[in-house]
Amino acid sequence: MSEIVEPMVAMKISLEEFVALKAFVSWKGTMSEISSGNKYAMRAMLDELCTSLHQYYEQNHPNDLSERFGNIILLLSSVFAAGLQFVESHHEVAFFDLWQLDSLLVQLLKCEND
């Protein structure tokens, strides 16, 4: 988790940047589950999100626009890596039946625990 939190603290991430990061994660995280016809609309929304974030930086951080925008994009890989690690560890728990997983968590992880 430190690979996510420490860069956020170091760059003093704003609420707007945090919301944009969450939106990127939400949109990119579901991209693989969307039909090819709807992917065009999702890509358009991602482009709009990038444009909005860029406009925010132009107004609020014009001197370090590129650096801040890049840092948000680079944080995505850390977020997805941490998410993958979370899913893998819970699949191991389910596979080896180390302890009973909450049914909602099992449903979220899409793993059968029978």
Per-residue pLDDT of 66-92, as tens digits, reads 999 999 999 999 998 888 887 787 777
pLDDT of residue 114: 41
Report the pLDDT averaged over residues 49-60. 97
Residue 110 predicted with pLDDT over 80: no
CA geometry: angle at 45 spanning 57 and 82, to 5°?
75
Report the pLDDT averaged over residues 87-103. 73
Task: Please indicate whether residue 48 or residue 39 has the higher confidence score (pLDDT).
Answer: 48
Cut 0.75: pTM above it: no
Q: What percent of the chain has pLDDT over 90?
A: 50
CA 35 to chain centre: 20
pLDDT of residue 11: 94
Residue with tokens 């969307």: 34
Distances (CA, A) of 101 to 1, 21, 36, 83, 96: 21, 29, 34, 17, 11
Cα–Cα distance measured from residue 2 to residue 31, given in angstroms and rounded to the nearest whole number: 26
The full DSSP string for 25-54 is: HHHHHHGGGS-HHHHHHHHHHHHHHHHHHH
